[in-house]
Structures are given as structure tokens and as C-alpha cells.
């Protein structure tokens, strides 16, 4: 069982430590870019040789920053904060000139969200417990009142007493129901003692700092403390900007501490639980913003890189990532690339947990050339020790480990490493260790292996660089049988062979040789380039016997390399294709300027419906043992053409494996239904078998999660059917896989695929307020469909221009080497919320991109009129709950080039309000809107026949909607009904629908004309008398006799609705009508009008449209 809770045997790390026990990571510093590391977690205090395990803890996001710009001079050991508030200071504090900085911070703004949830639940339980005696007492009093009072003899005081008890009970019950714990507020003080800035946090809430410990920045003495016994939340302090900012550093989640434990935990009395490199030291860099639920930010990455440079870190681990629309692109990627290429820091990252379909890798780990991307491997030993599995299979990939290739052809995954571990977590979780799995765990396992290699190389005096390290890891990795390259890259990391490789080829790591060789691919007739060849779409391969590509190889030297070294570069490159269907020239003469050669991919040799992978490897002709200097990845997918809209697949798939089918989407298809059915009639075979269905399409400049569907389900529940929107004339991957930990052997499956088509023109419907309707032409190109269009508006969008903006340089905390200043644009918006509700605040010109964004970062903060922080949002907008009243929104964008920021000074803020669905009528004729017709009924859309429909305008609008505002929703055209398919009868999520609010109605006072009822039958004299009296009362509205007439009438007919209505409306409206008619010298009759009316001109105001 040794070395399996934190796996080391699989990578030969355990063998390396036995061979070289002193090369355990010592003299290596690892930066952990994550949610932050708890300095009090087990195994994270010391290294084997007695040095501090954690050198520094940094909150790079700013989410824990405290404004400390208020300066107060101490008098007699006290600080006068306000006329009624005085803080008592520790008499041992020696502040220069007795000057102190003061501030405060709400605890729940920087607490980890799981901890906030735990504390709120506990505090609510305490509140309910405290209120229960009062509720019980009130209930008993009510029961006693009921028992002791006879309803027939009640007096006014008795009723008042009962009402008081009812009101008291309502208040008590409401206090329990609406209880919301605001959390603690911490008073903070900081001062300069002549040597260091020191600070303290009052965890008692009393303002008494007399016994408080003033801690210096963590990197000075590694001091930390606990906020409370209840929370068990450890924190450290850092002071920035000459005392203006205090950072209360605590983690935003358990993830980062677990990652750090995998890399470098050291347990002196329990070495089995050590991390991979127990001798390494770490720098904790919190890039997960507490205000955003631990989501990473560009600011966190930027400041994190500066912390790496400050502490001279050797390697960075980043187990974070997001989907990106553009691979190997974006301002954050540029910053990481500079760290790697210029400063020689190895950067290791996870590739994502969104498999098993191809192309599911995330940025930055899977999409950036400067980063080593790591996939997740599980071994039989891990299955036994970590997962306690009785039934185990041979090692392989976790089903969810993301797969390459990238859309630009790069393989995406570089190496494989164990993707699970049981190790330390923060103390606030109230548990010592946890099992976590993911590429978030495989990346730190690989990082630990890198730390071992660097430790050994430093000990023997060998210098290396990140690209040489990558070549060593890739060249010595071991291929895992039956696992494709898209998930394991070059194979499973092997520390011992990699160390021997680096010792033998260390001369290649000097600056006199290129750092790496940049690969760029172009195809004749196109301007786009990639880092590899990826032929996937029907247009890439259908009807072609071969495809020729141009490969450009560019040597990249270190920025400080002398020109003489570049002039001396003269290499003979041997080109070797790994597959017979890839043709490349045998050699390439390479100099400092780029060289281009042609390669041919022979498509006619390849089968359809599967993914083919190969490479062109470039070796130094004089030193092939060094391994490839560059690789040109080639991926070819020839989709299967579907003769009919419906096809059936019958794979048999074992746990840990996956079945893929690549189908060409027929022309005209708009969505696909996929149903997965067990292929065995025996319930015991399929019982509790978890299966993954993953559908994937590629779309240029679109994040992969926007064109995919990923579902997990158990076959014993029912046959599973799902639907996904598709793009016609492109390739869709249908991937099914039993989960890796599903027992029971190979599983026979039946996968039914049906392409469906209701194609609208235009696909996005826009209705302008006042135009009545918008025409949409529908056609079914694959088969006859039943249609019943339905349209709904679900969001109301307001747009706001800034009220003010400012561009300014950031502080030294964000200043790069060589005095490169980062600038910030802060834009302010103001609006008034009519009522409390959920809102999404968006900056469409920026949103949707994090790593592939051209700007360093973006952040949106919302405040109320009292400057209380209501919520935060970033590149991926989140829904916020905003109260009624004035709202102030501040957006921050950062970049080194302030001229670029100036161009965003007038960007528009979109506020998407969540509204109750508004049904929009859809008519079958163009006159439906003007005639007020009923919405169209269900009809048949015959194949190939175009049918027009007309999307109308909503009858009602949200309160507060103004001209120019936009309502958005979706429109579906298929008829929803019960079918044998458990997919959708319509394109999932429908098609976009937009309604632009038209001009406002003129302000007129509503006038309701009450007509008399039809004449009563002679036999119904009482009803006729009632109607006659009612008519007289209506005529008396606004006259002195109204009250008397109404009183007599209501006494005779107390439940007659017209009499109740006229009293409720009051005399004001009718008095206004009387004055209007008087001004026209015309008496309006309330009886039915006819041509013989005694008015010379009849007048009737049209009823207003409801909004």
C-alpha cells in the first residue's frame, strides 16, 4: 500500500527517492496557483531539513484587501476611531511617530464559500433555537385565549389582545424564516515599526488589541493565526503600498491545499503520506477570487507571476482552467509565455475534466504551447488504495480526463500522470485529509516529479530550461497500452529515465541553442495557421484523396541570446513520419531564419468514422538519441456520411474505454436526438452501470462547451435520450463510455441517432416594437415534422452608458520588471432598480473570454447606495441579486497599454433582468397581429415545403421597460408531444428571439365607459329593478347625491359587483369624466348608444394597451 495515497510508484518517483534520497525537492521552490494554501494544514509546515515549507502566501486577487488609508495618531496607547469608539492598543507595539493605519473588513467577503455556508447554517440553527421558547409561549397564549373566550361575548379589548398575539407570532415566525447571518466585521490596524510593516486583526469584535499579536508580512517570519475556534480558518497578513492596503490572506477553497499536499507535503512520522517532492518549498498564490466563488482572475495570474519572480520560483503548478475560443492566444497567455521563455520558469497545468470527447481540453493547460499540459491516469494500485474498489481493471485514463486535439491541430495533452490522491485539506473543512481526483491532481503529481528532477540537477550542477525539461519528460514517457494519444499525450511520466536523459543531454540547455522550434501549419488557399494539422470537417476530407500542407519551422532563442549564436545555427534535421499515410521529405537544412517544407496527408488510405493520429518528428541528424526537437501533430477524422436521418450504432464498451463515432451532419439538420439503450436483455448486467454520453462539434472562435453535450446516467433507471443543436454540413462526434470505475465487464449498448430539421429563415428573430410581427419561413429538409410554434421572452435588458471613467497606473504591486506599469480603466455606471430581483451584469465587448482575452483582466463590482458590496462578476458573468433602489456598478479593465484602455471608456453595460416568462403570439398569417387573431394551431410541415409564420408582439411588458430596451427569449417551432424518443421535439433551447421596446404610449387618463345591461325579461322584475338602481348610481358619480344613492343600493344588493366596483373606483375618475363632458357641452349616456342619441357627437376613448 506504500506510495498509493499520493501515487509515486507509477511515475518511478518512489524509485528515484530510493536512489537519491537527497534529491527530494530541496532547493526547489514551487508556486501553487490555486485557491490558496492553508499554512496550518498537516504536512505543510516544514521540509525534511528543517526549513519552512511555505515561504509566502499571497492573495493575488485583491478579494481580501482592506483599505487602510485612514491614519490616526495614538494617544496614551489608544486610538480614537469616532466620538463613541476607542481602540486599545498593545503596549508592546512601537509604531514610528505613533501613527497607525485603521480599516475594517466583512468576514464573509473573504471567507471560503463552503465555510460561509457551514457557519450560516449553524448560526441559523442557533437563532431558531433561541426563538423557539418565545414562539412556543405565544402559541400557548393563543391557545389559552381561545379556550377562555366565548366568540359570542367578545369585546374590543379581547379582539385587540388576540390580534396582538397573532402579530407577535407572525413577527417571530418571520424572523426565523428570513434570518440571514451577515457574518463578522473585523477591525484592522497596521503600523510601521522602523523595520517592517505589522498588522493585527481584532477577532473578538471588541476593539481591544491589548493582547493582540501584530504580524509582519508572512514571508518575514511565516506567522499565521486563526480567526476563531468555530471557523478554524487560518489567515496570514501582508501589507502593500506603504501601508495603504492590508491583505488578509486565507484560502478560497480546499482545492489549493490538496494540490500543495500532492506536490510537497512532508509528514515526518508518516512518510507514506508524503507528497511527491517532500523537500520542496512552496509559495501559495491565491488566484481564485473569494468574491467570485474561487474563480480565477487575470489580476490573480498577473500578480501571481510577479510573486514567482520575487521569490525566484523554479516551477509553477496551476490546476485551474476554462474553455477558450482561441487556442494559444490572449493577454494572460502572453504573460505566462514571458515567464517561461524569458525567466526560465517551468509551468505545469491541468488540461480539464470535460472528457471523453475529443477537443474537450481547456486553457491554459491544454491550449498553450508554453505550458506542460497533463492528463489524468488511474492505476490498479490507485483503484485499490484510494477508491477501495474490489473489481479493478488495467490502468488507463479517467473517463472525464479532457482529450485533445486543440482546434488548431496541436495535440494539447503533453504527458500522463496519476490523477487522484488522498492528502491534506484546510482545517476549516474539519477533516484531516480528503480524496480528490481530476487533472487538478495529475498536474501537481507531475509538478512534484519536475521538482525532483530540478533538485537532482541542481545538486549535480546541471542547468536546464523549461523546454529541455519538457523534451526529457516527453521523450522518456511510457505509452500506456490501449490508451490513445489524445488523452495521454506522449505517455506516463517516468522520473528516473528523465533524470538520466537530462544528465546526458544537458549541453542542449544553454542559451547558445534554440529554446524550442516553433511549428506553424498552413494549407494552400487559406490564410489561417495552426500548430498542427487537424482535418475533421467534411469539407476538409470529402472527395479528396490527399491534402498538402505547408510546415514552417522557426528556431526560437532566448531573448538575451547573442546574435553570434544565431548566426552559428546550422542544423541538419531528419524528418520522420510515424504513420505511412503521412508523407514528408527526409531532411531539412535549418538556420536561424524560418524554413518551410511540404507534407502530404493521404486520405484514401484511412477508414471513415474514426480518429487517426500521427506525427512528423524532427531530429537532429547528428544526435538522434536526444529525441525529437519538434513535433508536427496530424489528426484526421473522416466522418461517416449518413444515408438516412436515422442511424443505429451497436458498440460493446468496457469500463475505462470509450466508443466514438464521427458522423457528417446532413444539410438542413438543426438538432439531433440520441438515445442510449442497453444492448442486453439481462437486468443484472446493466444494473448500476454509469454511462457517459458526450456529443461534440467544433466551431471556429466558439468555446467547446458551447457546441457540446455531456451527460452521465445509469442504464438501470431507463433508456436515456438527449438532444443537441447541430450545425449542418459539419462533423459531430458521438462518444459513449462506461465510467472508469463501473464494474461488470464490457457493456453492450445500442445508440440510436436521429437528425431532425426545422430550419427557420431568419434563424434569429427580431421584432421591432410597433411593427406588429416578423415573418419567419420554415422548412423541413430531412423529413416531415409537426409544428406548433411557441415563443417566450425570459429576460429584460437595459443598457447604460458610463457616468464617469478614469485611466490610472496600478500600484507597485502590479508593476512588472523594467518598470513596466500596468494601467487600469475604472468605469462607473449608475441606475435604479425598480424592485429586488436577479440581474446579470455584462460587458459584451469583453465577456466570454478569460485566457484568450486581449486584456489582462476584467472585474465588475455592484454596490448599493450605502456602498455595500452586493456582488461581483468577471469574464464569465454571474447572476447577482440586487435590491430595490440606486445601484452603482464599477468595472475595471487592466492592460499595459493605456491607449487601448481609453478606447473602452465609453463601453456599454448590459443589465439582464430575470423576468417572469412573457408569452409571445405566433400567427399563421400576416394579418394575425392587426386582427387580434388567435395564435396558430398545430400543423404539418411537409418535407421541402416552405411555410411562413409570423412572430407577434407581447401584450404586456415588464414594469419599467423603456423605449429601446430589449426583451430576449427563445422561439421553438416543433410540436412538443410524447414520442418514442426521449429527446426533444424541437431544437434544444430553440432559436434566439429579440423584442425591441417601441415608443411609449401618450399619457392619457383611462376612461372606462360602463354600458347598461341588456333589457331584462318582463318576468324578472327584481333583476330589472336592480339594474335600474345601479344605472342611477353610476349616473350620480361625482354628484352630491352619489353617497346617499349608493348607500341605499348596496343595502338592498350587498353582493352586486357593479355597485362594489363603482364604489372602489371612487368619485374621482367619474368626476373627471363629468368635467370633460361638460367642457364639450355634451352629456354622455351610460345606456347603449344608438343613432338617436341626444348627443350631437358620440365620444368613446379607446381602451389603452396593457403594459
Find, among 735, 721, 653, the residue nearest to 689 by Cα: 653
375 with 353: CB under 8 angstroms? no
Segments in 244-346 forming alpha helices (H): 255-264, 298-310, 331-341
533: enclosing H helix or E strand: strand 533-535
With beta carbons less than 8 A apart as the criterion, state whether 368 and 361 touch: no
Question: Which residue bears the cell 418514442?
Answer: 980
Using alpha carbons, select from 16, 193, 237 the residue that is nearest to residue 105: 237
Q: Which residues are paired to 447 by β-bridges?
A: none
At 901, which helix (H) or strand (E)? helix 898-902
For helices 466-476 and 495-504, the axis angle rounded to 10 degrees is: 130
74 contacts: CB under 8 Å, gap ≥ 6: 89, 95, 98, 99, 100
Active site residues: 34, 255, 440
Cα–Cα dist 101/190, whole Å: 5
CB atoms within 10 A of CB 464: 21
- CB atoms inside a 10 Å sphere around CB 781: 17
555, 657 Cβ separation under 8 angstroms: no
Q: Which three cell numbers stand for residue 432?
A: 484531516
Which one, of 539, 756, 485, 538, lies nearest residue 663 by Cα?
A: 538
Q: Judge contact between 661 and 733, C-beta under 8 A.
A: yes
The number of beta carbons lying within 10 Å of the beta carbon of residue 1050 is: 17
Distance CA 398, CA 393 (A): 12
Beta carbons within 10 angstroms of residue 396's beta carbon:
23
Burial label for 536, CB within 10 Å (0-12, 13-18, 19+), is: buried
Measured CA to CA, the distance from residue 743 to residue 689 in angstroms comes to 7
Beta bridge partners of 82: 85
Count the alpha carbons within 13 Å of 964 in the hemisphere toward its beta carbon: 4
Tell me how far apart the alpha carbons of residues 55 and 32 are, in angstroms, rounded to a whole number. 11
The angle subtended at Cα 450 by Cα 449 and Cα 456, nearest 5°, is: 95
Neighbours of 585 (CB within 10 A): 12
Question: What distance in Å separates the CA atoms of residue 743 and residue 1092, rounded to the nearest whole number?
Answer: 90
Q: What CA–CA distance (Å, rounded) separates 514 from 508?
A: 9
Match 514567482 to its residue by C-alpha cell.
Answer: 308
Strands 823-833, 885-895: pairing kind: antiparallel
Pairing of strands 947-952, 922-923: antiparallel
Question: Which of 649, 763, 705 minimizes the C-alpha distance to 993?
Answer: 763
3-state secondary structure of 485: helix
- Rounded CA-CA distance 761/924 in Å is 15
Cβ 436 vs Cβ 258: under 8 Å: yes
Residue carrying C-alpha cell 529541455: 468
Amino acid at each position: 500500500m506504500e506510495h498509493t495515497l499520493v501515487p509515486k510508484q507509477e511515475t518511478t518517483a518512489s524509485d528515484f527517492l530510493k536512489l537519491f534520497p537527497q534529491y527530494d525537492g530541496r532547493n526547489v521552490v514551487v508556486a501553487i496557483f490555486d485557491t490558496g494554501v492553508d499554512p496550518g494544514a498537516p504536512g505543510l509546515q516544514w521540509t525534511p531539513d528543517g526549513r519552512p515549507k511555505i515561504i509566502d502566501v499571497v492573495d493575488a486577487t485583491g478579494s481580501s484587501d482592506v483599505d487602510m488609508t485612514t491614519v490616526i495618531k495614538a494617544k496614551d496607547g489608544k486610538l480614537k476611531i469616532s466620538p463613541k469608539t476607542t481602540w486599545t492598543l498593545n503596549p508592546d507595539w512601537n509604531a514610528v511617530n505613533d501613527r497607525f493605519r485603521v480599516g475594517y473588513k466583512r468576514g464573509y467577503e473573504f471567507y471560503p464559500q463552503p465555510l460561509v455556508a457551514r457557519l450560516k447554517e449553524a448560526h441559523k440553527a442557533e437563532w431558531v433555537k433561541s426563538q423557539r421558547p418565545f414562539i412556543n409561549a405565544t402559541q400557548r397564549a393563543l391557545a389559552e385565549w381561545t379556550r377562555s373566550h366565548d366568540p359570542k361575548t367578545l369585546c374590543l379589548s379581547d379582539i385587540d389582545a388576540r390580534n396582538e398575539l397573532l402579530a407577535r407570532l407572525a413577527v417571530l415566525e418571520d424572523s426565523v424564516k428570513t434570518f440571514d447571518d451577515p457574518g463578522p466585521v473585523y477591525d484592522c490596524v497596521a503600523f510601521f515599526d522602523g523595520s517592517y510593516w505589522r498588522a493585527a486583526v481584532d477577532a473578538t469584535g471588541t476593539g481591544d488589541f491589548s493582547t493582540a499579536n501584530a504580524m509582519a508580512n508572512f514571508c518575514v517570519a511565516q506567522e499565521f493565526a486563526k480567526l476563531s475556534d468555530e471557523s478554524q480558518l487560518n489567515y496570514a497578513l501582508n501589507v502593500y503600498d506603504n501601508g495603504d492596503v492590508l491583505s488578509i490572506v486565507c484560502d478560497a477553497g480546499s482545492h489549493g491545499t490538496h494540490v500543495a499536499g500532492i506536490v510537497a507535503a512532508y509528514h515526518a512520522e508518516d512518510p507514506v503520506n508524503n507528497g511527491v517532492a517532500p523537500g520542496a518549498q512552496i509559495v501559495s498564490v491565491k488566484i481564485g477570487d473569494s468574491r467570485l466563488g474561487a474563480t480565477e482572475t487575470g489580476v490573480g495570474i498577473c500578480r501571481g507571476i510577479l510573486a514567482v519572480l520575487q521569490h525566484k520560483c523554479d516551477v509553477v503548478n496551476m490546476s485551474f482552467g476554462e474553455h477558450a475560443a482561441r487556442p494559444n492566444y490572449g493577454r494572460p497567455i502572453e504573460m505566462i509565455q514571458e515567464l517561461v521563455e524569458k525567466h526560465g520558469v517551468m509551468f505545469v497545468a491541468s488540461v480539464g475534466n470535460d472528457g471523453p470527447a475529443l477537443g474537450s481540453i481547456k486553457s491554459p493547460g491544454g491550449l498553450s504551447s508554453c505550458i506542460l499540459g497533463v492528463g489524468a491516469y488511474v492505476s490498479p494500485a490507485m483503484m485499490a488504495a484510494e477508491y477501495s474498489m474490489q473489481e479493478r481493471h488495467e490502468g488507463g485514463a479517467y473517463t472525464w480526463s479532457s482529450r485533445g486535439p486543440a482546434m488548431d491541430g496541436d495535440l494539447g495533452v503533453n504527458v500522463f500522470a496519476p490523477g487522484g490522491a488522498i492528502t491534506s485539506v484546510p482545517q476549516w473543512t474539519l477533516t484531516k485529509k480528503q480524496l480528490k481526483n481530476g487533472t487538478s491532481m495529475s498536474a501537481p503529481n507531475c509538478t512534484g516529479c519536475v521538482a525532483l528532477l530540478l533538485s537532482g540537477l541542481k545538486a549535480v550542477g546541471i542547468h536546464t530550461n523549461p523546454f529541455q525539461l519538457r523534451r526529457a519528460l516527453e521523450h522518456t514517457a511510457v505509452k500506456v497500452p490501449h490508451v490513445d494519444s489524445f488523452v495521454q499525450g506522449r505517455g506516463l511520466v517516468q522520473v528516473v529515465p528523465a533524470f538520466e536523459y537530462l544528465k546526458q543531454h544537458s549541453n542542449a540547455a544553454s542559451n547558445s541553442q534554440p529554446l524550442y522550434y516553433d511549428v506553424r501549419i498552413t494549407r494552400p488557399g487559406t490564410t489561417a495557421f495552426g500548430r498542427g494539422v487537424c482535418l475533421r470537417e467534411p469539407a476538409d476530407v470529402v472527395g479528396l484523396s490527399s491534402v498538402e500542407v505547408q510546415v514552417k519551422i522557426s528556431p526560437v532563442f532566448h531573448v538575451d541570446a547573442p546574435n553570434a549564436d544565431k548566426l552559428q545555427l546550422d542544423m541538419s534535421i531528419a524528418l520522420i513520419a510515424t504513420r505511412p499515410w503521412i508523407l514528408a521529405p527526409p531532411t531539412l537544412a535549418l538556420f536561424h531564419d524560418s524554413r518551410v517544407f511540404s507534407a502530404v496527408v493521404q486520405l484514401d488510405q484511412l477508414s471513415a468514422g474514426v480518429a487517426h493520429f500521427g506525427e512528423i518528428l524532427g531530429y537532429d541528424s547528428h544526435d538522434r538519441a536526444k529525441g525529437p526537437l519538434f513535433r508536427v501533430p496530424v489528426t484526421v477524422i473522416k466522418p461517416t456520411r449518413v444515408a438516412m436521418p436515422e442511424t443505429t450504432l451497436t458498440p460493446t464498451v468496457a469500463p475505462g474505454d470509450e466508443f466514438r463515432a464521427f458522423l457528417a451532419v446532413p444539410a438542413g439538420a438543426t438538432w439531433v436526438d440520441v438515445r442510449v439503450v442497453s444492448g442486453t436483455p439481462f437486468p443484472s448486467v446493466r444494473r448500476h452501470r454509469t454511462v457517459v454520453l458526450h456529443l461534440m462539434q467544433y466551431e471556429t472562435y466558439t468555446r467547446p462547451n458551447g457546441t457540446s453535450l455531456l451527460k452521465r446516467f445509469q442504464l438501470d433507471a431507463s433508456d436515456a435520450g438527449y438532444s443537441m443543436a447541430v450545425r449542418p454540413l459539419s462533423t459531430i462526434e458521438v462518444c459513449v463510455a462506461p465510467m472508469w470505475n463501473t464494474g461488470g465487464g464490457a457493456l453492450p449498448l445500442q445508440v440510436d441517432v436521429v437528425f431532425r430539421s426545422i430550419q427557420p429563415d431568419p434563424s434569429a428573430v427580431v421584432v421591432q416594437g410597433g411593427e406588429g410581427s416578423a415573418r419567419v419561413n420554415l422548412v423541413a429538409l430531412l423529413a416531415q415534422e409537426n409544428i406548433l410554434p411557441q415563443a417566450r421572452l425570459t429576460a429584460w435588458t437595459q443598457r447604460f452608458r458610463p457616468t464617469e471613467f478614469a485611466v490610472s497606473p496600478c500600484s507597485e504591486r502590479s508593476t512588472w520588471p523594467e518598470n513596466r506599469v500596468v494601467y487600469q480603466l475604472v468605469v462607473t455606471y449608475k441606475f435604479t432598480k425598480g424592485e429586488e430581483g436577479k440581474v446579470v451584469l455584462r460587458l459584451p465587448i469583453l465577456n466570454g473570454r478569460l485566457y484568450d482575452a486581449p486584456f489582462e483582466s476584467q472585474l465588475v463590482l455592484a454596490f448599493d447606495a450605502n456602498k455595500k458590496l452586493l456582488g461581483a462578476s468577471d469574464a464569465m458573468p454571474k447572476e447577482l441579486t440586487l435590491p430595490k433602489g440606486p445601484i452603482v456598478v464599477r468595472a475595471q479593465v487592466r492592460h499595459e497599454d493605456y491607449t487601448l484602455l481609453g478606447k473602452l471608456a465609453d463601453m456599454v453595460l448590459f443589465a439582464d433582468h430575470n423576468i417572469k416568462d412573457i408569452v409571445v403570439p405566433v400567427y399563421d398569417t400576416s394579418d394575425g397581429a392587426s386582427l387580434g387573431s388567435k395564435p396558430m394551431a398545430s400543423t404539418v410541415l411537409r418535407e421541402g415545403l416552405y411555410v411562413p409564420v409570423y412572430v407577434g408582439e407581447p401584450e404586456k411588458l415588464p414594469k419599467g421597460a423603456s423605449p429601446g430596451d430589449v426583451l430576449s427569449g427563445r422561439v421553438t417551432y416543433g410540436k412538443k408531444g410524447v414520442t418514442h424518443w426521449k429527446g426533444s421535439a424541437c431544437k434544444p433551447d430553440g432559436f434566439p428571439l429579440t423584442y425591441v421596446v417601441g415608443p411609449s404610449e401618450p399619457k392619457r387618463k383611462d376612461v372606462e365607459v360602463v354600458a347598461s345591461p341588456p333589457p331584462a325579461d318582463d318576468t324578472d322584475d327584481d333583476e330589472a329593478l336592480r339594474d335600474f338602481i345601479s344605472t342611477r348610481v353610476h349616473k350620480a358619480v361625482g354628484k352630491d347625491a352619489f353617497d346617499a344613492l349608493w348607500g341605499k343600493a348596496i343595502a338592498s344588493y350587498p353582493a352586486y359587483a357593479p355597485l362594489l366596483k363603482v364604489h372602489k373606483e371612487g368619485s374621482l375618475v367619474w368626476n373627471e369624466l363629468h368635467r370633460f363632458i361638460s367642457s364639450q357641452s355634451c352629456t354622455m349616456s351610460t345606456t347603449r348608444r344608438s343613432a338617436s342619441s341626444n348627443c350631437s357627437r358620440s365620444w368613446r376613448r379607446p381602451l389603452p394597451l396593457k403594459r
